A = this chain, B = another copy of it.
Amino acid sequence: MINSKAVQMDAEIISNKRIGTYNHMVFSVDEMANGCRPGNFVAIAVGGPASSMVLRRAFAIYRASMRADGTGLLELVVAPLGNGSKWLASQVAGQKVNLIAPLGTAFGIPTQPVNALLVGGGYGSAPLFALAETLKSRGCRVDMVLGASTAGKIYAPLEGKRSVNSLTITTDDGSAGTTGRVSDVLPALIQEHEIDLIYSCGPMAMLEAITAITQQVGIVHQCSVEEAMACGIGVCMTCVLPVEGDDGVIRMTRTCVDGPVMNGNKVLWSKSRDIPDGVWGK
């Protein structure tokens, strides 16, 4: 079901700063910020009143906070790639955008202190910093791995780094940190820090590679998936992935309401993007 806290509103842009290849954008929202949890996302209408873009764009919530005056702040990390994200990144402070938030599931927080490894790819690091803070405040040990194709695509602001015990960086081209992919460094980190739990967010191929590791080692893997979404609120059925339910049945499951945070070990990742055999209703 849809996130019960979801609210639709026109939110003013408070600031929009270029950081590396990303835009860090801050929006003024009301108490809605209170309802946001790490992992939730926001759906934003793009292109203005005469837009040719009919669908909202989803963005992971980077940070949500309440100010003393009772107004809330919502922060996003936007990669200006296509028409919609470029439009959003070109909006300036003072302009308003229509958004719906919080949407989707949040990262589950363990009731006991555990050793958590947070893995982010590209702008997938965005929701991990708020998560790291929460985990820290619950007494967890938090290690982080961030990967990207190249250094400019690593999003790791200073204040974010403060809440982690260690930060490992990988880049495909070796322009920062270890040359290679996050999945290359995972096994060693899991062992070294005696990881109980992996949280991840990034491209689907990365999540699939992590799952291969977590399934093998047998540790919990909460991942935030990114499947193309038309509605973001559960009514269109475009955003599905094959996921095994608690009843053992594999269903094409909506990632906008039953995700984006899902149990990675239960997702039937399939590169070929088929309907795997055994899916209910195939």
- Which residues of A line the B interface, CB within 8 A? 46-53, 83-84, 86-87
B52 contacts A83, CB within 8 Å?
Answer: no
A interface, over-half SS: loop
Q: What chain B residues lie within 8 Å of A48 (beta carbons)? A: 47-48, 87
CA distance A49 to B87 in the complex (A): 8
| A50, A52, A86 — most chain B CB neighbours (10 Å) | A50
Cβ-closest chain B residue relative to A54:
B52
Q: What chain B residues lie within 8 Å of A47 (beta carbons)? A: 48, 50
Cβ-closest chain B residue relative to A46:
B50
CA distance A53 to B52 in the complex (A): 8
> A52: which of B50, B84, B86, B87 is its contact (CB, 8 Å)?
B50
Q: What chain B residues lie within 8 Å of A87 (beta carbons)? A: 48-50
Q: What chain B residues lie within 8 Å of A50 (beta carbons)? A: 46-47, 51-53, 83-84, 87
CA distance A52 to B51 in the complex (A): 5
Minimum CB–CB distance from A89 to chain B (whole Å) comes to 12
Minimum CB–CB distance from A201 to chain B (whole Å) comes to 27
| A49, A83, A86, A87 — most chain B CB neighbours (10 Å) | A49
Q: Can you spell out 14 A-B residue pairs with CB atoms less than 8 angstroms apart?
A: A46-B50, A47-B48, A48-B48, A48-B87, A49-B87, A50-B51, A50-B52, A50-B53, A50-B83, A50-B84, A50-B87, A51-B51, A51-B52, A52-B52
Minimum CB–CB distance from A136 to chain B (whole Å) comes to 41
CA distance A15 to B173 in the complex (A): 48
Q: What chain B residues lie within 8 Å of A51 (beta carbons)? A: 50-52
Q: What chain B residues lie within 8 Å of A49 (beta carbons)? A: 83, 86-87
CA distance A48 to B51 in the complex (A): 9
- Closest 4 pairs (CB-CB, A-B): A52-B52, A47-B50, A50-B83, A50-B52
Q: What chain B residues lie within 8 Å of A46 (beta carbons)? A: 50
CA distance A84 to B47 in the complex (A): 14
Minimum CB–CB distance from A81 to chain B (whole Å) comes to 14
CA distance A51 to B53 in the complex (A): 8
